[in-house]
Structure 1
């Protein structure tokens, strides 16, 4: 008997869909605010751990280059 483990991204999306199904107007303002400003959680969730590491590395290197030049 094979037991399929649910990936964290799949579980997060399933829980979000269930919340929207049970309480569509309770999260309406959250969705509007997130659409306007973006969410770090959504960014990191979409990139995965490798993408997040690369993003952090680019930000840190960019900061040091900025400090050296200015």
Structure 2
């Protein structure tokens, strides 16, 4: 695969696989921690910028609605 034409997701996955091959025990611990805490980078990386913007907008509107009706 040409490195100039690979997408950021493909490059991220390739680097992740190289890390798994190099240090399986450390990656096991990391995966337990990531699963318990969540990973914002993977969440936003998997979504497009439009979907991320819509989620942020919904959160802001939720806070405004809460402030207006419940205070």
TM-score by length of 2: 0.83
| Count of aligned residue pairs for this structure pair | 69
Q: Larger relative CO (CA 8 A, sep 6+): 1 or 2?
A: 2
Q: Provide Cα deviations, 1:33-68, integer angstroms capped at 9, x if missing partner.
A: 111221111111111212111111111111111111
Is the partner of 1:27 in helix, strand or coil?
A: helix
Whole-angstrom CA distance in 1 between matches of 2:16 and 2:49: 21
Is the partner of 2:25 in helix, strand or coil?
A: coil
Runs of 4+ in 1 over 4 A off after TM superposition: none
Q: CA RMSD in A?
A: 1.8
What are the equivalent positions in structure 2 for 1:57-68 lying under 5 Å apart? 57-68=57-68
TM-score by length of 1: 0.85
Whole-angstrom CA distance in 1 between matches of 2:50 and 2:10: 18
Give the CA deviation at 1:4: 5.4
